Amino acid sequence: MTVSRTENPELFDLIVGGYGLFGIILSAEIDVVPNAIYRSERELIATSDLPGRLTRIIADPSVGLMYTHISTAPGSLLDEALIYTYHHTDESGAERAPLAEVGSVKMRRLTVNLAKKSTAFRSFKWWAEKNLEHRAEACTVTRAQAMKDGEACLVSRNDPMHDSVPYLRNALKNDTDILQEYFIPRDQLLPFIDGLRTIVRQHDANLLNASVRVVGKEDNRLTYAPAPAYSVVLYFNQRTDADGNARMARLTSELIDLARARAAGFSCPTSSIIRRSSWSRPIPRFGRSSPQSESGTRTAFSATPGTNATRWPSANAQ
């Protein structure tokens, strides 16, 4: 059976974002975009200025890609943000270099592993991103084209989308990493970050990375974003003994409660650290001020103990 926005749209609505709950995709036709040439820029701002800056970036048609990293250094925890933007340029005559292997994998892995063991190295990791990493940025478009654009660092769209996952491989004994993602209504970003900072400090959590991405409204049944949102992605490290698991379970439960208070959805990699009550309580639609569930709505979720767990704002699931 073929499904699309125009052919069997009611099934397409269930399949897209359905996490395998409604059927198996055997093949797909996917639209791709041109491998455009971008001028890369970065800026350091206070996190308190983030909503206004992101609003301006979203409205800027010259921006093709962007992402934001927030400080996980203990001394500036979630107080500073680095915004990376990639702006469209005149690409006439530009030569795109073939994608190569990502460099500095061993050094990046060492930096991450040291950050897991010491607050001093977590501070160094953020300092290095602010002051060193951009100096090693690979400008993959030919030098002549870069000179034409005022010595800007020019890259193809594929370059910032191409990164190394092996540097995140965790081979440390009795140690694991947890990825969590929270989908925050745009007017609730700062209150969520303020609450997140308090919870991370109270639990002395080992937060290695925090990033923000822009999420547009999604019109499908199990949507992350029934209204425009920001995604806050958190990368934690924890011990795998009984105490480490219990600490992560308490931390995650408080973060889920914080998300619910801000009408946000969440996605966690392992549901064994989530209380069952967190799965069953409805989350209001974005744009509703009350944290209480709406009459007649039902909450969609996918979770079994020990596997992936995802919760969405109430989406009229049948």
Least confident of 14-18, 32-36, 115-119: 14-18
What is the rounded CA–CA span in Å between residue 92 and residue 94?
6
Q: Which of 276, 294, 289, 197 is nearest to 311 (CA)?
A: 276
Q: Name every residue whose Cβ is closer than 8 Å to that of residue 43 and which is 6 or more positions away in sequence.
A: 82, 83, 85
The answer, yes or no, to whether residue 310 has pLDDT greater than 50, is no
Residue indicated by tokens 């292997």 = 101
**What's the pLDDT at 169?**
77
User: Where are the alpha helices (H) located in 226-308, listed in sequence order?
Assistant: 242-261, 276-280
Can you give the residue ranges of every domain in the chain? 1-31, 37-167, 170-311
User: Percentage helix, strand, coil, to 5, in the chain?
Assistant: 35, 25, 40
What is the rounded CA–CA span in Å between residue 255 and residue 266?
9
Count of other CB atoms within 10 angstroms of residue 135: 6
Token pair for 261: 């208070």
Would you say domain 170-311 falls under CATH 3.30.420.40? no
As a whole number, the mean pLDDT across the chain is 79
Distance, CA of 177 to chain centre: 15
> Per-residue pLDDT tens for 203-219?
999 999 999 999 998 77
Where does the pLDDT of residue 272 fall: very low under 50, low under 70, confident under 90, or very high at 90 and above? low
Where does the pLDDT of residue 264 fall: very low under 50, low under 70, confident under 90, or very high at 90 and above? confident
> Per-residue pLDDT tens for 280-300?
454 444 343 333 333 322 222
